[in-house]
């Protein structure tokens, strides 16, 4: 009798595991199809980049009362178009493993810092209101698709995103008379956010947890679409 009960329990456990695997498979199919549909529309993405022509932009500055460095620390968290991209890059790097995560952890803040310094020095009256939205859409779609990109491609995407966002931030901050100490605070906040998110993502092993990270990527892409609509409407 005891043997039959144990066999019945094991049979039921196998059935539940199969159901969970089937649910995970269809979840992956759904999330991947969303990401690949966005990535397959290359002409549409090219059109979105073309539509990101210069317009008027406002710097998201907050006065903490503790000095420019701490103002820079808070800058990332009050700028959703930048924060979404940092989250997407952290998820993208974390899903690819600890080695990629550690490399992105240093590549993004450094490229962001150099881009910000370049923007401060140029101080050009140039703004791309839809550029951040387009990058958020692309990065979110890459996370949702969970496509195994080569190491050098991920690093190139990271450096490009960091430098472009840093340059845009630097040009905005130059119009407010901000200095390099504030820019250093922004780069530090990028490093801290990446360290927390990428580290946690790299430790994910369960299928449902990785699926959750990919769904978060699809939400980032959807948020980017909303931001793109607002940016184009404002112009």
Q: What's the Cα-to-Cα distance from 139 to each of 125, 142, 175, 177, 233, rounded to whole Å? A: 27, 5, 28, 31, 22
Q: What's the Cα-to-Cα distance from 28 to each of 89, 170, 192, 218, rounded to whole Å? A: 19, 39, 30, 12
3-state secondary structure of 114: helix
pTM of the model: 0.72
Domain layout of the chain by residue ranges? 2-234
**Residues 43, 45, 46, 51, CA torsion sign:** positive
pLDDT tens digit sequence for 113-143 = 999 998 888 866 666 667 888 999 999 999 9
pLDDT tens digit sequence for 29-69 = 433 443 444 344 344 334 334 333 334 344 455 666 667 88
Q: How buried is 103 (Cβ within 10 angstroms: 0-12 exposed, 13-18 middle, 19+ buried)?
A: middle
3-state secondary structure of 55: coil
DSSP state letter for 147: -
């Amino acid at each position: 009798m005891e043997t039959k009960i144990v066999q019945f329990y094991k049979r039921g456990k196998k059935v539940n595991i199969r159901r969970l695997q089937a649910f995970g498979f269809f979840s992956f199919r759904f999330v991947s199809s969303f990401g690949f549909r966005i990535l397959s529309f290359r002409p549409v993405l090219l059109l979105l980049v073309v539509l990101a022509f210069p317009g008027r932009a406002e710097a998201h500055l907050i006065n903490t009362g503790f000095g420019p460095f701490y103002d820079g620390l808070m800058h990332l968290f009050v700028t959703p178009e930048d924060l979404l991209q940092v989250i997407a890059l952290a998820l993208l790097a974390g899903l690819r493993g600890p080695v990629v995560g550690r490399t992105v952890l240093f590549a993004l803040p450094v490229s962001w810092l150099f881009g910000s310094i370049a923007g401060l020095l140029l101080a050009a009256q140039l703004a791309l209101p839809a550029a951040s939205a387009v990058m958020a859409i692309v990065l979110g779609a890459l996370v949702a698709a969970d496509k195994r990109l080569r190491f050098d491609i991920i690093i190139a995407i990271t450096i490009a995103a960091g430098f472009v966002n840093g340059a845009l931030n630097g040009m905005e901050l130059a119009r407010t008379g901000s200095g390099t100490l504030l820019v250093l605070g922004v780069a530090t906040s990028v490093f801290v956010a990446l360290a927390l998110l990428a580290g946690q993502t790299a430790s994910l092993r369960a299928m449902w947890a990785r699926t959750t990270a990919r769904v978060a990527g699809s939400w980032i892409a959807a948020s980017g679409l909303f931001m793109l609509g607002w940016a184009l409407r404002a112009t």
